Amino acid sequence: MYCKIIAVVCASALFSSCATVIRGAHEQVQIVSTPPGADVRLSTGETGVTPVSFVKSRRDSFQVTVSKPGYETQIVNVVSRASGSGVAATTAGNVALGGPLAVAVDAGTGAWNSLYPNPVSVQLTPAPLDPTAARKLRKSKYPLGLPAEQAGMVRSPYTQRVYDVREVPHGTLVRDVDVDKLFINP
């Protein structure tokens, strides 16, 4: 009876692998965007809306596509690579307890890898208007904002006050708070 228990404990030590046990073969990947509420699609088929997180295998690389109406779509490659903390923390334990077989198990499961970048953080850029939509806006009852000296800034045609429109899609209305009137983000 005791021999069987000792055999099971020895086999467990022999076939265990520290990274697989300590870190696991999966990692939670977080995806955030500015502005939030963007659609997310992974090349592996999962979908969501930012902010969102997915549990992914540490050994798999994939693409993240982030899109939102009025903004340019962005694609980020998430890659699996050996993590300094994952390798260092577990290799010594594997060699001491499990030997080369445990090292091979950790390498095979990807448990000592991490996914980069994590979190995936995307700054969405307003998409430019197509020429037809731009012509329609110019004929509308609202005036166009005026270019400011800095990128992503626009001047009110009413008061010359500068507004930050980096997160405002082109062609949408902006309110001049000083006179409570609307103008178009060019």
Answer whether residue 109 shows pLDDT above 80. Answer: no
54-96: pLDDT as tens digits: 999 999 999 999 999 888 999 999 999 987 654 455 555 545 5
- Mean pLDDT of all residues in 22-34: 87
Boundaries of every domain in the chain: 2-123, 131-184
Model pLDDT, residue 85: 55
Residues 6+ apart with CB under 8 A from 144: 137, 138, 157, 183, 184, 186
Decide: pTM greater than 0.95.
no
Q: How confident is the model at residue 14 (pLDDT cuts 50, 70, 90)?
A: very low
Integer-rounded Cα radius of gyration of the chain: 26
The residues pairing with 123 across neighbouring beta strands, listed in sequence order, are 34
Model pLDDT, residue 110: 55
DSSP track, 29-43: EEEEEESS--EEEET
Model pLDDT, residue 11: 47
Model pLDDT, residue 80: 92
Model pLDDT, residue 13: 43
Question: In whole numbers, what is the pLDDT of the chain averaged over residues?
Answer: 79
Answer whether residue 116 shows pLDDT above 90. Answer: yes
